[in-house]
């Protein structure tokens, strides 16, 4: 009976760990801001201030 209880506790721990790993893998990634998301970049393009530096 003790072995059955031990196996159930180990199985529950493995299941909880597996679910935690899967939940971590499906989290949304952080958003990367590109040049078209930058209002200053878009403003410089629309106002002709794109001189090479």
How confident is the model over 4-51, as pLDDT tens digits?
999 999 999 999 999 988 877 666 677 666 666 677 777 777 776 555
Is residue 52 pLDDT above 60, yes or no? no
pTM above 0.85, yes or no: no
The domain segmentation of the chain, as residue ranges, is 2-46
* pLDDT at residue 17 in the model: 93
Cα(52)–Cα(42) distance, integer angstroms: 16
For residue 30, how many C-alpha atoms fall within 13 Å in the half-sphere facing its CB? 2
* pLDDT at residue 2 in the model: 94
């Amino acid at each position: 009976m003790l072995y059955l209880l031990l196996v159930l506790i180990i199985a529950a721990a493995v299941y909880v760990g597996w679910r935690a790993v899967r939940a971590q893998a499906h989290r949304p990634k952080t958003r990367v801001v590109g040049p078209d998301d930058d209002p200053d970049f878009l403003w410089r393009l629309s106002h002709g201030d794109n001189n090479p530096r």
